[in-house]
Amino acid sequence: TVILTPGFTRPQSMFHQAMVTATAAAYNDFLINEVLPASPRIKAEIMINHRNPADGAAEIRRVGSNPGFVGVYTEFGGNYEPIGTAKHDPIFEAAVEHDLVVTSHIGMFWQKASPLSEGTRTWTELVGISAVCTSMAYVGSMIMQGLFDKFPDLRVIIKEGGFWWLPEFMAR
């Protein structure tokens, strides 16, 4: 089985919010009409506008019952409010309603919007440090702000944020 993600077609960095919402809906409709019917072994994540949680939740509810969708795609980074905040609850509520995993991928090309990137000179410093530290901040936000207490059936995947930091993080 293959699970398609929006990848670099994700629109979160677009300035115009209505355009982000429209792009997400068009992408999901394309998957439903053109891609998912090709094989039952093709699954996908729903593209949403997570910067506008009401629009994001509405899109999940619009297409979330399609059996081809197995997750909801979001991204995170230094220029976005952490997804653990109550502002994003509508997205998580809709994902739980449809039994979809919420995946979050490190966003922002080159991570330059993160304060963690200040003074970096190499790709390794920038991605190796900024992405991991931002992942920690987002996971911390989800835990400390009670996301999993509010939505005990919620499943979340952090993509490309590393994992070696998890034992130390859990100890703290």
Cα–Cα distance list, 13 to 112, 114, 123 (Å): 13, 14, 20
Cα angle: 146, vertex 105, 161; to 5 degrees: 80
pLDDT of 111 strictly over 60: no
How far is Cα 22 from Cα 11, in angstroms, rounded to an integer? 10
Residue-wise pLDDT tens digits, 30-82:
999 999 999 999 999 999 988 899 999 999 999 999 999 999 998 776 666 78
CB 101 within 8 A of CB 156: yes
Q: pLDDT class for 9, splitting at 50, 70, 90?
A: low
Residues 6+ apart with CB under 8 A from 100: 46, 60, 64, 69, 70, 71, 72
pLDDT digits (tens, 9 = 90+) for 15-26: 788 898 999 999
More confident residue, 9 or 88: 88
AA letter at 130? S
